[in-house]
């Protein structure tokens, strides 16, 4: 968990430069990991469907930094950033994408089913909103056992249109469980823009939680410090027994819905503008005023870690075909 300092006189909070640099390193590692994943997918080395979170790194990094190791998360189809931020080594995630036994889900899951219970990742889920009810259950367990832990569900704006989302928020608030609902609102559900899927203005999506009397916190999803402070406040509220919180993070998907998506439905100028002005890594780099050599050192370390992860994955073990039905419970 990172630390904050009290801002002199204001009563507000501020994150130290040291901590922000740590966030920068992690966000760049996520970016380099996903760029490599795109490259290896296009080279035909990775099976299945892949969704990257390029542009959304601050949300995963900021939220997970606010958590304690014993806290748990549930992720989505866009899972790599959450898994890295919660502490799974990139080599185990890469091995999973290559379908190897050394992968975090033993090669049985792939990109949309990254699990690592040891670090509190209860799993990614290909079913939109599929992780949310399990998080209410985990939070209920913490509450019943009197454990000072929180459970966090990551999900997108599209997921807020499902019945599962509404049922989960309803029960979470009724039972005042220590859950945090981390809404990564990128304004898209696949190729469907916000105006065609949401009856509310895209920036007002937190109103959905108000219907349940739930506390909401807003933060700019491209500003990792703002995300971190929002998540920290949400965690404090939830763990104190005051009930769940919805954290609304307005973010930007700077690539396609899936790797290979030609994005014919998206205005090219608008996308270019978003890439130029909304990249959370660029925004933090400018703010930290990193020198070229400092940037190169951080980048080289991230790139080397990702390159080594590919080597590790390629040298991994294929699951034996006779084990295909192992771990199948239904
Ligand atoms: C229950 C269900 N319905 C539909 C789909 C197909 N689907 C996959 S991702 C997606 C869009 C999800 O949008 P959002 O929740 O905003 O997440 P984002 O992709 O923007 O991160 C849809 C409709 C699915 N996987 N599961
Ligand atoms: Mg979305």
Q: For residue 273, count CB atoms less than 10 angstroms from its CB and return exposed for 0-12, middle for 13-18, buried for 19 or more.
A: exposed
Q: 326 pLDDT band (50/70/90 cuts)?
A: confident
Under 8 Å between Cβ of 101 and 319? yes
Q: How many distinct structural domains can be found in the chain?
A: 1
Residue 6 in any domain: the answer is no
Judge if the beta carbon of residue 251 lies within 6 A of ligand 1: no
Instruction: Tell me the pairing of strands 188-189 and 192-193.
Output: antiparallel
Residue 330 in any domain: the answer is no
Indicate which atom in ligand 1 lies nearest the CA of residue 53.
Answer: 21
Residue 4 in any domain: the answer is no
Task: Report the percent of the chain where pLDDT is more than 90.
Answer: 93
* Ligand 2 ion: residues within 5 Å (CB): 156-158, 186, 188
pLDDT at 328: 82
pLDDT at 3: 62
Residue 323 in any domain: the answer is no
Inter-axis angle of helices 280-288 and 57-65, nearest 10: 70
272-287 residue pLDDT tens = 999 999 999 999 999 9
What is the pLDDT of the chain when averaged over all its residues? 95
Residue 330 has pLDDT above 80, yes or no: no
From the list 112, 103, 108, the residue with the least C-alpha distance to 321 is 108
Residue 3 in any domain: the answer is no
Judge if the beta carbon of residue 157 lies within 6 A of ligand 1: yes
295-324 residue pLDDT tens = 999 999 999 999 999 999 999 999 999 998
pLDDT at 146: 98
Q: How far apart are CA 10 and CA 248, in angstroms?
A: 24
Give φ, ψ of 102 to 5 degrees: -75, -5
Nearest C-alpha to atom 8 of ligand 1 is from which residue? 128
Nearest C-alpha to atom 6 of ligand 1 is from which residue? 128
CA of 285 to the centre of ligand 2 (A): 25
Closest ligand relative to 162 C-alpha: 1
CATH number, domain at 296? 3.40.50.970
CA of 188 to the centre of ligand 2 (A): 4
Residue 322 in any domain: the answer is no
245-266 residue pLDDT tens = 999 999 999 999 999 999 999 9
Instruction: Tell me the pairing of strands 13-15 and 4-6.
Output: antiparallel
CA of 156 to the centre of ligand 1 (A): 8
Structural domain of residue 187, as residue ranges? Answer: 14-311
Judge if the beta carbon of residue 186 lies within 6 A of ligand 1: yes
Q: 4 pLDDT band (50/70/90 cuts)?
A: low
pLDDT at 7: 47
150-159 exposure pattern, b = at least 16 Cβ within 10 A, e = fewer:
bbbbbbbbbb
Judge if the beta carbon of residue 215 lies within 6 A of ligand 1: no
pLDDT at 264: 97
Nearest C-alpha to atom 21 of ligand 1 is from which residue? 156
Instruction: Tell me the pairing of strands 72-74 and 245-250.
Output: unpaired
pTM for the full model? 0.96
Judge if the beta carbon of residue 127 lies within 6 A of ligand 1: yes
**Residues of the chain by 3-state class (helix, strand, coil), percent to 5:** 45, 10, 40
Judge if the beta carbon of residue 315 lies within 6 A of ligand 1: no
pLDDT at 1: 55
40-95 residue pLDDT tens = 999 999 998 999 999 999 999 999 999 999 999 999 999 999 999 999 999 999 99
104-128 residue pLDDT tens = 999 999 999 999 999 999 999 999 9
pLDDT at 9: 43
What CA dihedral angle connects 36, 41, 46 and 51, to 10 degrees? Answer: 80
Nearest C-alpha to atom 25 of ligand 1 is from which residue? 127
From the list 81, 48, 234, the residue with the least C-alpha distance to 156 is 81
Residue 252 in any domain: the answer is yes
Residue 29 in any domain: the answer is yes
CA of 106 to the centre of ligand 2 (A): 29
Judge if the beta carbon of residue 78 lies within 6 A of ligand 1: yes
Indicate which atom in ligand 1 lies nearest the CA of residue 128.
Answer: 26
């Amino acid at each position: 968990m990172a630390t904050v300092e009290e801002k002199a006189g204001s009563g507000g909070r501020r994150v130290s430069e040291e901590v922000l640099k740590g966030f920068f390193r992690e966000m760049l590692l996520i970016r380099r990991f996903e760029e490599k994943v795109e490259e290896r997918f296009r080279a035909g080395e990775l099976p299945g469907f892949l969704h990257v979170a390029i542009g959304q790194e601050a949300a995963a990094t900021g939220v997970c930094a606010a958590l304690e190791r014993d806290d748990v998360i549930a992720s989505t189809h866009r899972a790599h950033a959450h898994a890295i931020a919660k502490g799974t080594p990139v080599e185990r995630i890469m091995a999973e994408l290559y379908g190897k036994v050394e992968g975090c889900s033993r090669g049985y899951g792939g990109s949309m089913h990254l699990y690592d219970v040891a670090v509190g990742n209860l799993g990614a889920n290909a079913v939109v909103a599929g992780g949310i009810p399990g998080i209410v259950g985990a939070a209920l367990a913490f509450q019943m056992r009197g454990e000072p832990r929180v459970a966090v569900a990551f999900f997108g704006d599209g997921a807020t249109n499902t019945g599962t989302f509404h049922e989960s928020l309803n029960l979470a608030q009724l039972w005042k469980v220590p859950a945090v609902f981390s809404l990564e609102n990128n304004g898209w559900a696949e190729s469907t823009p916000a105006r065609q899927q949401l009856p509310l203005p895209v920036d007002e999506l937190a109103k959905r939680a108000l219907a349940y009397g739930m506390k909401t916190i807003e933060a700019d999803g491209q500003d990792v410090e703002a995300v971190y402070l929002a998540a920290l406040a949400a965690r404090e509220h939830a763990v104190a027994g005051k009930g769940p919180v919805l954290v609304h993070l307005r973010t930007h998907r700077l690539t396609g819905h899936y790797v290979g998506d030609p994005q014919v439905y998206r205005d090219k100028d608008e996308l270019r503008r978003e890439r130029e002005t909304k990249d959370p890594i660029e925004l933090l780099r400018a703010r930290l005023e990193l020198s070229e050599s400092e940037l190169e050192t951080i980048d080289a370390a991230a790139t080397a870690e990702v390159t080594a992860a590919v080597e590790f994955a390629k040298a991994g073990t294929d699951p034996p075909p006779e084990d295909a039905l192992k771990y199948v419970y239904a």
